[in-house]
Amino acid sequence: DTRRSITRGTRPYMSSAIQPSSSRILLGIDAGGTFTDFVCVETDAEKEVSIRIHKTLSSPAAPEQAILRGIREMGLQAALDNGALHIVHGSTVATNAALEGKGARTAFVTNTGFADMLEIARQTRPALYALEPAPARVKVPRELCLEIEGRIAADGTQVEPLSDEAIADLVQQLVALKPEAVAINLLFSFLAPAHEQRIEAAIERALPDVLVSRSSRVLPEYKEYERGVATWLNASLGPVVYRYLSTLEKELSGNSLQIMQSSGETIAAAKASRTAVNLLLSGPAGGLTALHALGLQTGTSRFISFDMGGTSTDVALLDGAPVTTNEGTIAELPVGVPMVDMHTIGAGGGSIAALDTGGMLQVGPRSAGAVPGPVCYGQGGTQVTVTDAHVVLGRIDPSSTLAGGLTLDSAAALEALERLGAAMGVDAKTAAEGVLAVANEQIAAAIRLISVNRGYNPQDFTLTSFGGAGGLHVCALAEAMNMTRALVPIHGGVLSALGMIVAQPGRQLSRTATALLSDLTDAEIENGLAELEAQGRAELTAEGAQGPLAAKSSVDLRYKGQSYTLNVPWHSRAQAKQAFVALHRQRFGYDHDTELELVNLRSAVTAQGVELVLPRADSENTNRSTKSAANRVHSTHPASLAATYGSGAYPSIRREALDEHEREGPLVIIELAATTFVAPGWCAKRDAIGNIELRKR
């Protein structure tokens, strides 16, 4: 089957949290904007592990249809019918709803006088010299912004009581407005949540079909605007996620289903719709989780990664395990819940290239998506994309069969680039090179943002690409960052789906507890952390997690008088202070001789996940005839392009033909889920488990 890649080994997967039976099949699914990726891990009676990968075209209007189609195409329908699948799923449903403003009709409840909280936002200018800055993106209709009495002070004491009459009046307003969801965000509720809890209980009694989201549960931290945005997003996305997951669970009835969270941990599908805001980076988090697991097996821990799919590119820096941030954004909105620390830009394989009104070449953020897709897909697309540029330059073999049975129409791609080139005053080849140069510079700028701007030297890291389009850009980006080493992981085209399988069930909990660090004892801080840890353990246990649960504690600190915090691990006050000073010096280049202030307590609780050791790539076990065919070098230029640009096509080989001996570029390495372009001046070889190691000569 040309759509499958199978590797075998002798190390079985293990999981105390999932505890699959010997017949259970692990299936990681990453539903992207263009393709839906699958990684299937099975063990046979001899405890031998096999890994299969698969891609199919996404179905954005009904994402579950692509999932069911992929399960059938992989021959897993019988396992699905027998309830033998354990599925971990990363989805863009919440992300797309947030980006497109297609959340549920949501009422926003806050204190008297603060109905405009989300509209006013922060008085910071995204463009410093713009005299008329654009208003905040959150547009809650005026009639859905409701106020209520009852006020908590900054020290947690009650300033104004909340009466039963006021709650009853609020409920009557909601009955008349008929929202699908309600977000409750009262001042200082993270210190005293009783008012929010009373309002929540009253709404749920009167409107049992309405999803209620309160800030003291979603994000019990200071900063009322950021907390309000997170709570409003959670409420508005909840019904959308619930409808999707309900449909998916019905179709997957009898099979275990976990959902990937933005923090890189999984949550039971039944709980996910209540924490929809935690799913915004569901897919990208899987790639970093897999990369960390891969690094543990290869003995490498320092990566700069970029995950380039059809619609966007996610850039991250790993110096050990993936780290989370509480300063993420989505559609220019702050998202204060934990998510993997990465930067996303609208540059992917399907990004559209066009001239702006000034004649400047622009690439993205608009994407051709799955439908109609790039011109070369032959599905009605007419606008040039990054993928079309690669086809014209001979970096994608037009004879390859893509996911969904697609075949490339190189002639159509050439015609589209000729039209763009004519508008630019150049030929099609030069136009294609220009498209890739613009896309590469956008990604390089994102890499500088998460590395150089934070005090890291990119040359100390290995540039790692994954996603369907990543391997086509890895050498150019390494050169742009003066890096001499790069890596394309095994199964890199579906790495996020692999990360779903190895992710751990977990919870990340936080609470604001502002005080001078010197005014607290170690025991007082540890008691607060212990309360958060106990909550996380209880939630995981209720989901059925078994075996040992692990907890990591950390604190957010800042110098007295600052507003910006840094997160450091917690062991003691002395250790936390030392770690904070070192991190502040690295990040900003200086430190202060002033007191430290504790702002937030954090606890990450995880259950034991799947331990998956990738088998060694043993060329001696490869069928000789298959290996011979894979090793055959041929041209990536079809006749239509060779007639235009001559016979200087790039040689190409199948990925399985690589061994431990270096091959010099230029070279195109072909596999099911992705393509890698080894640029001139670079060498490529395979490591022990099948990763492509790239080295600048």
Token pair of 148 as six digits: 């209520």
Distance between CA atoms of residues 406 and 587, nearest Å: 47
The string of DSSP letters for 197-235 reads HHHHHHHHHH-TTSEEEEHHHH--SS-HHHHHHHHHHHH
Pairing status of strand 651-654 against strand 596-607: unpaired
- What's the predicted TM-score (pTM) here? 0.83
Place of tokens 């609208």: 346
| Number of other residues whose CB lies within 10 A of the CB of residue 694 | 28
Q: What is d(CA 434, CA 298) in angstroms, rounded to the nearest whole number? A: 36
Band of pLDDT at residue 265, cut at 50, 70 and 90: very high
- The alpha carbon torsion through 552, 274, 281, 374 (nearest 10 deg) reads 160
Compare 105 and 631 and report the one with higher pLDDT.
105
Q: Is 58 helix (H, G, I), strand (E, B) or coil?
A: coil
Reported as a single tens digit per residue, the pLDDT across 88-136 is 999 888 888 887 788 999 999 999 999 999 988 887 777 778 777 777 6
pLDDT confidence bin for 634, thresholds 50/70/90: low
Task: Note the pLDDT of residue 627.
Answer: 42
Query: What's residue 218's pLDDT?
Result: 96
Per-residue model confidence (pLDDT) at position 12: 33
Sheet with 181-184: strands ordered across: 145-148, 106-111, 181-184, 211-214
Is 335 in contact with 324 (CB distance < 8 Å)?
no
Higher pLDDT, 2 or 224: 224
DSSP code of 47? Answer: -
Residue 276 has a pLDDT of: 94
* Residue-averaged pLDDT of the chain: 87
pLDDT higher than threshold 60 for residue 17: no
Q: Under 8 Å CB-to-CB from 398, ≥6 apart: which residues?
A: 376, 391, 407, 408, 409, 410, 636, 638
18 pLDDT above the threshold of 80 = no
What percent of the chain has pLDDT above 70? 90
What token pair was written down for 658?
């690589």
Task: Compute the distance between CA of residue 286 and CA of residue 298 in angstroms, rounded to an integer.
Answer: 18
Using CB atoms within 10 A of its CB, is residue 312 exposed (0-12), middle (13-18) or buried (19+)? buried
User: What's the confidence (pLDDT) of residue 483?
Assistant: 95
**Structure confidence at residue 309 (pLDDT):** 82
Could you read off the pLDDT of 403-426 as tens digits, one per residue? Answer: 666 788 999 999 999 999 999 999
Mean pLDDT for 17-36 is 70
- Among 266, 246, 254, 331, residue whose Cα is nearest residue 89: 266
* CB atoms near residue 7 (< 10 Å): 19
Mean pLDDT lowest among 179-193, 389-403, 528-542: 389-403
| Residues contacting 5, CB < 8 A, separation 6+ | 51, 52, 53, 491, 671, 672, 673
DSSP 354-400: EE-TTS-EEEEEEE-TTTT--GGGTSS--S-BHHHHHHHTT-S-TT-
The per-residue pLDDT for range 494-509, each reduced to its tens digit, is 999 999 999 999 999 9
Confidence of residue 69 (pLDDT cuts 50, 70, 90): very high
Tell the burial category of 521 from Cβ atoms under 10 Å away from its Cβ (0-12, 13-18, 19+): exposed
Tokens in use for 490? 């095994």
The reported pLDDT for the residue numbered 626 is 37
- Output helix, strand, coil percentages for the chain, rounded to the nearest 5: 35, 25, 35
Q: Summarize pLDDT for 460-487 with one digit per residue, the tens.
A: 999 999 988 899 999 999 999 999 999 9
Residue 7 has pLDDT above 50, yes or no: no
Confidence of residue 255 (pLDDT cuts 50, 70, 90): very high
Neighbours of 564 (CB within 10 A): 12
pLDDT-derived band at 547 (thresholds 50, 70, 90) equals: confident
pLDDT for res 77: 94
Q: Is the dihedral of CA 103, 323, 127, 350 positive or negative?
A: negative
Helix (H) or strand (E) holding 186: none
The pLDDT of residue 624 is 36
pLDDT given at position 646: 40
pLDDT value, residue 637: 54
Neighbours of 147 (CB within 10 A): 14
Q: Give bridge partners of residue 315 from the DSSP assignment.
A: 306, 343
Model confidence band, residue 46 (pLDDT cutoffs 50, 70, 90): low
- Where would I find the H helices in 83-190? 93-100, 117-120, 164-177
On the question of pLDDT at 6 being above 70, the answer is no
Cα–Cα dist 293/611, whole Å: 9
Q: ∠ CA(249), CA(216), CA(240), 5° rounding? A: 30
The model's confidence at residue 689, banded by pLDDT at 50, 70 and 90, is confident
Q: What is the pLDDT of residue 599?
A: 96
